[in-house]
Amino acid sequence: MFLLGDVIKLVPMSALAGILMMTAWRMNEWTRIKIYFRRGFKSGISKYLITMFATIILDLTQAIIIGVLFAMVLFIARVSDMDINVAEVDVERLSDETGLIVKGKTAHIRVAYLTGPVYFATVAKLREYLFDFQKNGVLILSMRGVSLIDVSGLQFLDELYLELQLQGSRLLFSGLQPNVERMLQRSRVRDRLGDDSIYWSAEDAIKAASTMNR
């Protein structure tokens, strides 16, 4: 291109158009595109079509920027969603299945299985699901599916702990990922909770909670 620029500029535009068409055709990952359409992946189809039409209407560089920005918006929307499944625990059934001896009247136990990041975009949803809790009970947060937590999430957990404490309830954690546990330690939230509030699995937390009297 640099050495033969004067010669290349003499090539007819129709010939260059043919070369560009073949180049554009080969740039597409047709195997992946076929998978998008055959299996109905809406996000992949939408990204492909938006980038394609932007290339036709604008130019390639602008189309790439638009496609990347659209993919970022979809990614943020996807990761900002959190799945919260709350389950009640039947302590009597647990005692029968595990042989656990429960003395006295046991606390009301509820387990919240969290999947997704705990950060500013999901705090409102967590507050809606978890703050409405029965007094004198035990709330277990199973966080094995939580790989990310930010300052807003840490502040929420601290507020939740204090709120439950005022109600006479307990807050337990299970399945903490290493980076999440490090954030809890750095923020001193873990020191406030204590070692007796952190468990390896939800089952261990449930067994410990079942021995807590009201």
* 198-199 and 170-174 strand pairing: parallel
pLDDT for residue 99: 45
What stretches of 47-188 adopt beta strand conformation (E)?
A: 83-88, 108-115, 137-145, 170-174
pLDDT for residue 105: 45
Q: Is the pLDDT of residue 174 over 50?
A: yes
Average pLDDT score over residue span 98-107: 47
Residue 113 · residue 143 · CB < 8 Å: no
Q: Is the pLDDT of residue 38 over 50?
A: yes
Q: Mean pLDDT of all residues in the chain?
A: 82
Lowest mean pLDDT among 16-20, 62-66, 130-134, 173-177: 130-134
CA distances for 208 relative to 18, 76, 171, angstroms: 72, 37, 12
Pair (54, 160) in one structural domain: no
Residue 18's Cβ-count burial label (10 Å; 0-12, 13-18, 19+) is exposed
Name which residue leads in pLDDT, 186 or 210: 186
Does any domain span residue 2? no
CATH number of the domain encompassing residue 100: 3.30.750.24
**Residues 149, 150, 152, 156: is their CA dihedral positive or negative?**
positive
**pTM higher than 0.85, yes or no?**
no
pLDDT for residue 107: 59
Pair (133, 145) in one structural domain: yes
Q: Is the pLDDT of residue 136 over 80?
A: no
What is the domain range of residue 30? 9-79
